[in-house]
Structure 1
Amino acid sequence: MKVSTALAAKFPILRRTKDDGAIDVTAPARLDRRTKDLTKRLNPGDIAIIDHTDLDRVSADALLSSGVHAVLNVAHSISGRYPNLGPQLLVDAGVPLVDAVDPEVFDRVQEGEEVRLAQGVLYRGEDIVAKGRPQDSESMAAAMAEARAGLSVQLEAFATNTMEYLKRERELLIDGVGVPEVTTSIDGRHVLIVVRGYHYREDLATLRSYIREYHPVMIGVDGGADALLEAGYRPDMIVGDFDSVSDRSLTCGAELVVHAYRDGSAPGLRRLNELGHTAIVFPATGTSEDVAMMLADDAGAELIVAVGTHATLEEFLDKGRAGMASTFLTRLRVGGKLVDAKGVSHLYRSRISPLTVLALVAACLLTIVVAAYSSPAGQLYVDFIAARWDTFLYWLTGLFS
């Protein structure tokens, strides 16, 4: 297994210990069966122990952003159902990935305990705690090839889920029946919807000039609200089930919309009540990003710009959830209003470019110079400035003589 030079330089504890390039990692262990919860507690250099079948790209990116030294997965990072993107992301970054680890590891290892990983074996001192199957580029390539072979089955399941969702939510999708009214002023404005998904940091960075010029309504979907605050913006609205958003975001003054189940139950509402916040409840079968798009569209948004959302078939399948069929249909419903952030970064150009500003300044200076030389009063000013300049040079020369 290879280690990238950048990663090894950033985390010196990650080291080669044998001539064959094997990796020996010694670090504190952090454990959680929910990867989303674990990434909130991870520190740079930790060994992450998870239970995540078909590790998706967003989860893998969150692990990498936390600076983990290694990832041990009790489940299969690639089960073969579809070509999920997360494991390859870890392997390409040089982070050791071990699959099918003994499930008892959750009982044998304590949170924060220092352990050692070598050749797919986890040690506490000299005692073996758990074993697994190390993954590398070759094993990942073979697993991905096998997963792609069964892709047709997943496409059929995706199509079936899409039809079932359309039958259940046709009134919501077609006529907007059930979309609640919000107090945030959206009609006729641009709306920026941020999901903490694919490349959300890079997309927000490319949109700075767009945000500065158009001042769009900012909607954070769960953790997307934290992403907006990290980028220096305050969300106008937060939509989601509120399981992955910080208390800081909830107290920033944004309007809160709880995504509830179709029967009206909303687990996220309990947390808001405990914090003393009021919220609008939106029962819907789809995902929270679907809810945000439907809210913006129903409220009369002129344009909806999406950051970090799922846009391609590969991303829908990588999410690994039947509910992603709703996202596909919601995008069809919103239609021409919806633009993905990458498209905006390529198409949008500021109305006043820096080159235009420089040309305007140069033209003004040229006009001043011409006016000064073409009039008696201007000539007097030129002579005065020249005299003052000579005096300044004489004084400056005297300092060094």
Structure 2
Amino acid sequence: MKLRRGRETIPTEIVIGPAVARPDRRTKDLAQRLQPGEIAVIRHTDIDRVAAESLVERRPAAVVNASQSISGRYPNLGPAIIVEAGIPLIDDVGDEVLDLIADGEELTLRDGELLRGDELIASGRVHTAASIEEAMEGAQAGMMSVLVDFVDNTIEYIRKDSDLLEEEIVVPHVRTDFTGRHALIVVRGYHYKEDLAMLKTYIREYRPVLIGVDGGADAILEAGHTPNMIVGDMDSVSDAALTSGAELVVHAYRNGRAPGVERLKELDLECVLFPASGTSEDIAMLLADDKGAELIVAVGTHDTVIEFLDKGRRGMASTFLTRLRVGSKLIDAKGVSLLYRQRISNWQLTVLALAGLLALFVAVSATSAGQTFFGLIGAQFDGMVQWFQSLFGSRPAIDESAGAPVLPWMQGKQLT
């Protein structure tokens, strides 16, 4: 039996495998190496939208979560995205599953049970559209208390810990020249791929400084561009992006500690440290502003409560303060793909173009000049057809006086 939801068919009886299993404690790392048809085994409490979309893009046979996909803390959108894509989601099987599975081994998934041959490794709840809807309703009910805590944490941060409004915040020297140029900052947030694609003409015409915030650098590469700068803690960006020639700015803690530097040393890459509080996208904006960018365009940045909770952050003070500091230079391009999404399909445009050509043909044919023009075209076409026929038919007659063949369409005409 199968349950129909939207355009996807979701089996209520799940039998998958044997299939290759790919376990990883970091969903964003797993999404980079997961292949279609494999079983993704993750540990991700409250699967967020970006993580879910990255998994769905890889088309796994199923997703097995060691943690709760919906804890009820807030209405996260990830689980619904996975299930609506027709991918089974097995929930809350226990953290020990990640130690019991070897990367690449073949396992079988039968309903909520993960098996190695006949051996039961782990079991959990099979999420359906109905179970997700029920869990989301419970999460919505408790959202008010979460929102109050979120606002309190934001205010407390502003009062005690922020350095983002200090006039003497030290922005490091970088070799990238921002003077008089636009800066395009790409973060792997909601609709970042679609928005980046919509800005293709803008990038070609204005040639802004392209800044990738961690994995945003890979998004720039996938869109066919090369990042000028990569900013972040360097934990979710590929080696290909790091070695693309972009200037690397490592976001360090305020005490100067920067775990991301170790990875760059292993790749023999130089970097610049930027110690500051806040998020990596915040310091990317501060850097572009301080170095003289004329305009800052942000793609995929986080600025809503749900987005910050998706990222595991308890407040948004740093983003609020950064936007105060950057001011009118900042344009948020998030959602531009939804605003300008094409509502006419390609075949409709083709039919419209053909109808226009037909109308033009009829209009021209109604005039004497048009009739003469089309008559000449028709005569030339008939002549060409007869000439081609003569190539494969009888030999043409010879005009002995001129020594040239007389083609059928030339007969009766005087040669000069």
> TM-score, normalised to structure 1's length?
0.81
Question: Which residue identity lines up with residue 32 of structure 1 in the other structure?
Answer: D
Give the whole-Å Cα distance in 2 for the aligned partners of 1:392 and 1:83.
Answer: 69
- The residue that corresponds to 1:320 in the other structure is 312
| 1:50 and 2:42 correspond | yes
- The residue that corresponds to 1:398 in the other structure is 387
Cα distance per residue 1:97-120 (max 9 Å; x no partner): 111103332233221122121221
**Contact 1:174–1:333 at 8 Å: present in 2 too?**
no
SS in 2 for 1:39: helix
**Contact 1:176–1:298 at 8 Å: present in 2 too?**
no
Give the whole-Å Cα distance in 1 for the aligned partners of 2:336 and 2:289.
Answer: 18
Question: Which residue identity lines up with residue 215 of structure 1 in the other structure?
Answer: R
- The residue that corresponds to 1:356 in the other structure is none
How far is 1:333 from its partner? Answer: 2.9
- The residue that corresponds to 2:401 in the other structure is none
| 1:24 and 2:10 correspond | no
- The residue that corresponds to 1:369 in the other structure is none
Matches within 5 A, 1:63-78: 63-78=55-70
Alignment counterpart, residue 223 of structure 1, candidates 215, 229, 236: 215
Give the whole-Å Cα distance in 2 for the aligned partners of 1:326 and 1:215.
Answer: 29
SS in 1 for 2:180: coil
Matches within 5 A, 1:166-315: 166-168=158-160, 170-175=162-167, 177-315=169-307
SS in 1 for 2:32: coil
SS in 2 for 1:164: helix
How far is 1:3 from its partner? Answer: 6.8
**Contact 1:50–1:73 at 8 Å: present in 2 too?**
yes
Question: Which residue identity lines up with residue 49 of structure 2 in the other structure?
Answer: R
How far is 1:128 from its partner? Answer: 1.9
How far is 1:278 from its partner? Answer: 1.6
SS in 2 for 1:30: strand
Give the whole-Å Cα distance in 1 for the aligned partners of 2:158 and 2:219.
Answer: 31
- The residue that corresponds to 2:373 in the other structure is none
| 1:332 and 2:324 correspond | yes
Question: Which residue identity lines up with residue 111 of structure 2 in the other structure?
Answer: Q
Please, which runs of 5 or more residues in structure 1 have no aligned partner? 9-14, 349-386
**Contact 2:230–2:246 at 8 Å: present in 1 too?**
yes
**Contact 1:115–1:125 at 8 Å: present in 2 too?**
yes
Question: Which residue identity lines up with residue 190 of structure 1 in the other structure?
Answer: H
The RMSD of aligned alpha carbons is 2.8
How far is 1:30 from its partner? Answer: 0.7
How far is 1:145 from its partner? Answer: 1.3
Give the whole-Å Cα distance in 2 for the aligned partners of 1:83 and 1:118.
Answer: 28
| 1:92 and 2:84 correspond | yes
Give the whole-Å Cα distance in 1 for the aligned partners of 2:298 and 2:62.
Answer: 32
**Distance change in 2, residues 1:302/1:169 (3 Å):** farther
Give the whole-Å Cα distance in 2 for the aligned partners of 1:101 and 1:51.
Answer: 9
| 1:136 and 2:151 correspond | no
Identity score, percent: 58
SS in 1 for 2:255: coil
- Higher alpha-carbon Rg: 2
Give the whole-Å Cα distance in 2 for the aligned partners of 1:36 and 1:44.
Answer: 16
**Contact 2:164–2:321 at 8 Å: present in 1 too?**
no
Question: Which residue identity lines up with residue 24 of structure 1 in the other structure?
Answer: V
How far is 1:342 from its partner? Answer: 3.9
**Distance change in 2, residues 1:391/1:131 (3 Å):** closer
- The residue that corresponds to 1:360 in the other structure is none
**Distance change in 2, residues 1:304/1:96 (3 Å):** same
Q: Figure out how many residues of one structure are paired with residues of the other and give that number.
A: 355
Give the whole-Å Cα distance in 2 for the aligned partners of 1:95 and 1:4.
Answer: 12
- The residue that corresponds to 2:348 in the other structure is none
Cα distance per residue 1:60-88 (max 9 Å; x no partner): 11111121111111111111111111111
Give the whole-Å Cα distance in 2 for the aligned partners of 1:197 and 1:251.
Answer: 23
SS in 1 for 2:165: helix
Q: Which moved more, 1:106-115 or 1:193-202?
A: 106-115
Give the whole-Å Cα distance in 2 for the aligned partners of 1:76 and 1:106.
Answer: 15
Give the whole-Å Cα distance in 2 for the aligned partners of 1:265 and 1:347.
Answer: 43
Give the whole-Å Cα distance in 2 for the aligned partners of 1:155 and 1:176.
Answer: 32
Q: Which moved more, 1:153-162 or 1:89-98?
A: 153-162
Flag as ranges the 4+ runs of structure 1 deviating above 6 A.
Answer: 3-8, 389-393
Matches within 5 A, 1:142-181: 142-168=134-160, 170-175=162-167, 177-181=169-173
Cα distance per residue 1:366-385 (max 9 Å; x no partner): xxxxxxxxxxxxxxxxxxxx
**Contact 2:64–2:90 at 8 Å: present in 1 too?**
yes
Give the whole-Å Cα distance in 2 for the aligned partners of 1:83 and 1:329.
Answer: 26
